[in-house]
Amino acid sequence: MKKVLVATDKPFAKAAADQIRQIITDAGYECLFLEKYPDQQSLIQAVGNVNAMIIRSDIVDKAVIDAAPNLEIVVRAGAGYDNVDLNAATAKNVVVMNTPGQNSNAVAELALGMMVYQVRNHFNGSSGTELMGKKIGIHAYGNVGKHVARIAKGFGMEVYGFDPFVSREAMEKDGVHYVERVEDLYSQCDFISLHIPANAQTKKSINFDLLSLMPAKGMLVNTARKEVIDEEGLKRIFAEKKGFTYVSDVAPDCLAELGEYADRFFMTPKKMGAQTAEANNNAGTAAARQIVNFFKNNDITFKVN
């Protein structure tokens, strides 16, 4: 009997976990759970005889893959798969998939929620500002970016988008102003919401030069990955651009050094963009179905390696 391990240091909501178990067991497979595990060694020990894994931001590196000789498929229940060593997986014929779009509304709602929290001075009762009429620049117009655009329009914001992989027509159809150069997005918009993946091209790409183009009171919103930010540049922007604000769902490495900017910086206590009952359910059950379809029908839709 195939064994499917749901390895989630940050567990799914119970209803989602129950549904995942149901899908896996109905298909005739065994479903095992490893949640809130104390260290990476616990994950390595748990994969010894599993055929499939469902993960979130859990690290599946070469050590994990080497420790799992029966592993055939890893599904990242979510969008970003920078936590999986694709080369190590491919070398062992392990299929890696994600579940694109399944948690994107949750992330988008958090981005707008954090913006409101920041412009209303962390809800401290003092006079803040509004989003209506302001310009938001969506950096990467994928699944999350599209939801951000829709919600931002509801707030009455002017929406701009930059994405080298998306056509002008596709953005304009959604009522989004197409921006050809990333520099123009940063110089034109009061808010920039990041939705780029973390990869070799994007790591540290949000740097001093780009951020310095933002208006004096610009706000950077990061519900993507800490790795895309050049933190030396970020610290310099905080020091030099006195009205600059940063809200983030991903803890920067330089967190301690941002302490002095407490009124211009806000971070969620734990990455929680995708932490909703709906997103857990959508992404978790999609992952379970993808595994069943892979084993039963050899379906490799959503394969990323």
Report the alpha-carbon distance of residue 284 to residue 101 in Å, rounded: 12
Q: Min. distance of Cβ 155 from ligand 3PG in angstroms?
A: 23
Distance linking the first and last C-alpha atoms of the chain: 26
Q: Min. distance of Cβ 140 from ligand 3PG in angstroms?
A: 13
For tokens 């918009």, the residue is 189
Instruction: Pick the closer one to ligand 3PG by CB: 163 or 190.
Output: 163
Write out the DSSP string of 205-224. Answer: -B-HHHHTTS-TT-EEEE-S
Q: Min. distance of Cβ 298 from ligand 3PG in angstroms?
A: 25
For tokens 């394969």, the residue is 303
Beta strands of 92-190 (E only): which ranges?
95-98, 135-139, 158-162, 177-178
Instruction: Pick the closer one to ligand 3PG by CB: 47 or 274.
Output: 274
Q: Min. distance of Cβ 273 from ligand 3PG in angstroms?
A: 6
Q: Residue 178, SS3?
A: strand
Q: Min. distance of Cβ 184 from ligand 3PG in angstroms?
A: 27
Q: Min. distance of Cβ 290 from ligand 3PG in angstroms?
A: 14
Bridge partners of 34? 7
Residue nearest to ligand 3PG (CB): 78
> How many whole angstroms from its chain centre is CA 253?
17
Q: Residue 60, SS3?
A: strand
Instruction: Pick the closer one to ligand 3PG by CB: 79 or 151.
Output: 79
Beta strands of 172-295 (E only): which ranges?
177-178, 191-194, 219-222, 245-248, 265-267
Instruction: Pick the closer one to ligand 3PG by CB: 59 or 63.
Output: 59
Instruction: Pick the closer one to ligand 3PG by CB: 43 or 179.
Output: 43
Q: Min. distance of Cβ 165 from ligand 3PG in angstroms?
A: 17
Write out the DSSP string of 113-126. Answer: HHHHHHHTGGGSSS
Instruction: Pick the closer one to ligand 3PG by CB: 226 or 264.
Output: 226
Instruction: Pick the closer one to ligand 3PG by CB: 51 or 103.
Output: 103
Q: Residue 53, SS3?
A: strand
Neighbours of 248 (CB within 10 A): 23
Residues lying near ligand 3PG in the complex (CB under 6 A): 10, 56-57, 78-80, 103, 271, 273-274
Report the alpha-carbon distance of residue 151 to residue 146 in Å, rounded: 9
